[in-house]
Amino acid sequence: MSKPNNLILQTATALIAFILLGFSVYLFFAGHNSPGGGFIGGLVTAAAVVLLYMAYGIDFVNKILPINFRALISVGLLVAFLTGVGSFLFDVPFLSHTFGYFEFPIFGEVELATAMLFDLGVYLTVVGVTVTIIINIANDTKAEV
Amino acid sequence: MIFAVLIPLVFALLVPLLSKVKNKVHTGIFVLLIPLGIFLYFVRFIGNDFSPVRHTYNWIPSLGINFDFYLDGLSLLFVLLISGIGTLVVFYSIYYLHVSERLAHFYVYLLMFMSAMLGVVLSDNVFVLYSFWELTSISSFLLIGYWHHRERSRYGAQKSMLITVFGGLSMLGGLILLSVITGTTSIRGMIDQVDLIINNNYLPLILGLILLGAFTKSAQFPFHIWLPDAMEAPTPVSAYLHSATMVKAGIYLVARFLPIFVAFEWFYITVSLVGIVTLVWGSYMAVRQTDLKGILAFSTISQLGMIMAMLGFGTEAAIFAAVFHILNHATFKGSLFMIAGIIDHETGTRDIRKLGGLFTIMPISGTLAVFGTFSMAGVPFPFLNGFYSKELFFEATTKLSDQANGLASFLSTAIPYLAVFGSIFTFVYSMYLFFGVFTGPKKFDLLKKKPHEAPIGMLISPLILILGVIIIGLFPNIANSSLLVHATGGIMNSPMEPYHVHYWHGFDSIAFQMSLIVVGLGIVLFLTRKKWSNIYHVLPGKLSFNKVYDKLIQKIDDVSARVTNAYMTGSIKLYMSIILVAIIVATFTIMLTTGGLSNISFEDLAEVSVVDIAVVIIMVLAALATIFVNNKLALIIITGIVGFGISILFVIFRAPDLALTQLVVETVSMALFLLAYYHLPELRKREETLQTSTTNTIIAVGMGLLVTLTGFAAHSADWFNKISDYFVETAYKLGGGHNIVNVILVDMRGLDTLFEIAVLGIAALAIYGLIKLRNKEAE
């Protein structure tokens, strides 16, 4: 894929991918109060990763992003599940959430919710799932054509 | 008493171990102790002052199902027959079956059967009775198929299984109805509530179901067809199951429920009619057989019909005669089967056409056969028990009261003639059986073996039974007051006065005249047998119940194969159509019957803007286009239009989260379609007949209409307060977020989300597995 000169695409991607990633992080954190959340955030992150793959090719991206996306699925599910299990420690039903407001040096007063941890699990799973599916199908197609 | 019933079953567990030494000791010798012990245990109950004994052992008390054993006169007669003849049969089988046979199997099945049969006749609980009843069917199935390498054995076993289990299941239906009506599972308890049952509307159904069970088990017309095929079993089995015990289970059942049904006129009509028809048909068909055991099988059918008919008469004298004949039949038929087995064993054939002149070679067997066959024929000698019971039978047929009803009164008049007619043929086949085998020209060159007399051990069992024939013949009242009277009383459910059987009724006795007619005409018919045997080309002719049965089985096979092949075509299109049509029909039916469609109202609708209409029109056009487009790239894009249209609608209806998600998901799925582009099938113009495309259109339109109407109806119905108010109120208070959708997803209903991401994970791993782990070589 990287044989032809994709200078424009690669340059644009270098910029856009980071904007996308930044946007996805925003979506993820904004989720609790504005449109967004783990699902969308995950999808947009995955879109950024896929864009990188398209522009730079599998081998190169595997080198700069040494992430096993299949393992990411398990990690995401585990985080979401453990968030639920965590509520047992406080003697409340499975997946009970709580939240609180904390004072931070730079951000000022920030709301932190355990629901955010759960959303993190969703986020990781979605990233893992989407990238796994697309990369595998894309690779397979390439192999056969 | 439970030990007497269950000991054979428990001992059956030990038989395989004991049969390890079968080369030194025949397994049957160990087994012999069991029926003998049971026989001795029950013999103690015989006596003039017998009174019923009851023992109850809990099984499933909460359902009212317990091992409730009730020993009255009827049960006592049967347990003595089962254990007594069981002992003789086991003894006989020691000589009949060689040690090279699979003896362990044989005796395990036989003991299972013995246990089941004892259970049937002793159980007072209908469901326990049913359990044992089916166990007799199963063990009989195993015994008939004992030589399973023979095709005929397997056929016979299957046939008897199908027919008796069919009857058994219908009997279960009858028993359930009875226990529901009376509220008890005890037969005694049901008999105490006769009035309740007799006045119940379901009485004919109950009677029919229970009689179906009895008739199939006791090989009554037209269910008799399994019995001749069951003759493929080893001869001890035929002697035991198919003459003395299992085929009498149906008789027992009718006798047991007789106090309940006897007041019902149709009981008399059905049981008498079926019994007498069986008697006539069985004896008529027996003359035609060439196989010794075939003759005996049809003979058993006819004698069972006779007993059944006597039970149907329902008078005290007739029932006494029935009980008497049960005992007599067991003695002479058991011995005849054993003699047939001896002949088979010593000459190598059972075909009566190849046999003849055996009396000089097998004098002992021949002598025993004389007594057996003559007793069966009812020849008026004072030392043959068959004569007495036949005489009592004739007497009972002439004393049927004139019933008011037309059919019943006609039957009462016809029965004596039919009884004589059937008995003439009984006489003929009995004579044929004896003279055909033991007298006439010697045809030894046709035989496989050089015939010789049987070993003495093999002759002991039939000898004992024939001694029974003679003793009862000489002293017909020997067992009356101690056993038979109690048995009759048990059937009638009222104590019976001692009954005296006479040999001599006088020439003016109508029963004796009937006997003379039978013997006279029987002799004539026997001597001229060859001349009139062509009649069988006319009467059964092509009419054969076996053929009906075979056709039926074949037909069931064919029809079910055809039905299955008609809808299980392997075409997903067809399955889809069936599923959709079922949904459409079922849902529309429910909507129409419950009035769901009449409530549709169009009030309370929001206003529609121009943008809405524009977006929807685009989507509708795109959706319509998908039907007609034949280019796959175009199809992917058009489908995408619908998806993006939906996300625009989400924007319009103010669902930003959904709109975002829909947008991204639609993009990703379109990308997936394009990735799989090369693998997608080339679209072509589908060549469908007008009929299929019309059907598809109708189904599609119907489904669309259904969903639309359901949507309208659901919108019009406003039965519950919506929960969304709660979410709106508490999203921030409890969840700490302003984005209600997200708070619902991760907090209020986080569990759904947890499993949804699990679904996604599974899908991704499945795709990975499908792609990476496939078998490349197989492609």
Model confidence over B642-682: pLDDT tens digits? 999 999 999 998 888 889 889 988 888 888 888 777 777 77
Selection from B22, B36, B5, B226 nearest residue B106 by Cα: B22
* Six token digits for residue A24: 């996805």
Model confidence over B742-751: pLDDT tens digits? 888 888 888 8
By DSSP bridging, strand A99-104 and strand B53-60 are unpaired
Q: How far apart are CA B643 and CA B658, in angstroms?
A: 12
- Any chain A CB within 8 A of the CB of B349? no
Domain of residue A122: give its range: 7-144
Residue B777's pLDDT band (cuts 50, 70, 90)? low
pLDDT at residue B764 greater than cutoff 80: yes
Residues of chain B positioned with their CB less than 8 A from the CB of A31: 737, 739, 742, 746
Do A36 and B678 lie within an 8 Å CB cutoff? no
Do B657 and A140 lie within an 8 Å CB cutoff? no
pLDDT at residue B580 greater than cutoff 90: yes
* Six token digits for residue B394: 């004739």
- Give A67 to chain B, closest Cα distance, Å: 16
Model confidence over B55-65: pLDDT tens digits? 888 888 888 88
pLDDT at residue B736 greater than cutoff 80: no
Residue B776's pLDDT band (cuts 50, 70, 90)? low
Q: How far apart are CA B315 and CA A74, in angstroms?
A: 83
The crossing angle, in degrees rounded to 10, of helices B103-122 and B126-144 is: 160
pLDDT at B176: 92
- Any chain A CB within 8 A of the CB of B745? yes
pLDDT at residue B138 greater than cutoff 60: yes
* Six token digits for residue B400: 């049927």
Residues of chain B positioned with their CB less than 8 A from the CB of A39: 661, 745
Whether residue A2 lies inside any domain: the answer is no
Q: Is B26 exposed, middle or buried (0-12, 13-18, 19+ CB in 10 A)?
A: buried
Torsion of CA B724, B728, B732, B737, to 10 degrees: 70
Selection from B318, B294, B292 nearest residue B306 by Cα: B318
Model confidence over B323-371: pLDDT tens digits? 888 888 888 888 999 988 888 888 888 888 888 778 888 888 888 888 8
Nearest neighbour of B739 by CB, restricted to A35, A97, A125:
A35
pLDDT at A1: 46
Do A99 and B738 lie within an 8 Å CB cutoff? no
**H or E, element range at B53:** strand B53-60
pLDDT at B401: 67
Residue B592's pLDDT band (cuts 50, 70, 90)? confident
Between the two ends of chain A, the Cα-to-Cα distance in Å is 13
pTM of the full structure: 0.79
As a whole number, mean pLDDT of residues B261-290 equals 87
Residue B508's pLDDT band (cuts 50, 70, 90)? low
Residue B562's pLDDT band (cuts 50, 70, 90)? very high
Residue B446, CA atoms < 13 Å, CB-side half-sphere:
12
As a whole number, mean pLDDT of residues B30-48 equals 87
As a whole number, mean pLDDT of residues B720-745 equals 82
Residue B557's pLDDT band (cuts 50, 70, 90)? very high
Least confident stretch, B233-247, B397-411, B466-480: B397-411
Write the single-letter amino acid at B74: L
Selection from B151, B160, B303 nearest residue B223 by Cα: B160
Do B743 and A70 lie within an 8 Å CB cutoff? no
Do A118 and B768 lie within an 8 Å CB cutoff? no
**Residue by residue, what is the 3-state secondary structure of B212-226?**
HHHHHHCCCCCHHHH
- Any chain A CB within 8 A of the CB of B743? yes
- Phi, psi angles (nearest 5°) of residue B22: -65, -20
Do A115 and B747 lie within an 8 Å CB cutoff? yes
As a whole number, mean pLDDT of residues B191-219 equals 88
- Any chain A CB within 8 A of the CB of B608? no
CA of B333: how far to CAs of B230, B243, B519, in Å?
Answer: 16, 6, 20
Q: How far apart are CA B714 and CA B109, in angstroms?
A: 64
- Any chain A CB within 8 A of the CB of B754? yes
- Any chain A CB within 8 A of the CB of B763? yes
Total domains present in chain A = 1
As a whole number, mean pLDDT of residues B241-245 equals 82
- Any chain A CB within 8 A of the CB of B762? no
pLDDT at residue B502 greater than cutoff 70: no
Residues of chain A positioned with their CB less than 8 A from the CB of B661: 39-40, 43
* Six token digits for residue B25: 């000791």
Q: How far apart are CA B663 and CA B425, in angstroms?
A: 92
Do B736 and A99 lie within an 8 Å CB cutoff? yes
Whether residue A73 lies inside any domain: the answer is yes
The residue count of chain A comes to 145
**Mean pLDDT (chain B, rounded):** 85
More confident call, B596 vs B331: B331
Low-confidence spans in chain A with pLDDT less than 50? 1-2, 142-145
Q: How far apart are CA B307 and CA B111, in angstroms?
A: 27
Nearest neighbour of B742 by CB, restricted to A31, A44, A46:
A31
Do B768 and A70 lie within an 8 Å CB cutoff? yes
Model confidence over B158-183: pLDDT tens digits? 999 999 999 999 999 999 999 988 88
More confident call, B400 vs B227: B227
Nearest neighbour of A80 by CB, restricted to B661, B739, B754:
B754
Q: Which of B739, B741, B743, B746 to mutate to test the interface with A (most CBs of A within 10 A)?
A: B746
Q: How many CB atoms lie within 10 A of CB B168?
A: 19
Q: How far apart are CA B348 and CA B346, in angstroms?
A: 6
Residues of chain A positioned with their CB less than 8 A from the CB of B672: 133-134, 137
Residue B615's pLDDT band (cuts 50, 70, 90)? very high
pLDDT at A31: 80
Q: How many CB atoms lie within 10 A of CB A46?
A: 24
Eight-state DSSP code of residue B542? T
Identify the three-state secondary structure at position B160: helix
Do A115 and B757 lie within an 8 Å CB cutoff? no
DSSP line for B449-501: S---PPPHHHHHHHHHHHHHHHHHHH-TTTTIIIIIHHHHHHHHTS-------
Nearest neighbour of B738 by CB, restricted to A33, A37, A38:
A33
pLDDT at B507: 62
pLDDT at residue B735 greater than cutoff 70: yes
Identify the three-state secondary structure at position B290: coil
Q: How far apart are CA B598 and CA B601, in angstroms?
A: 9
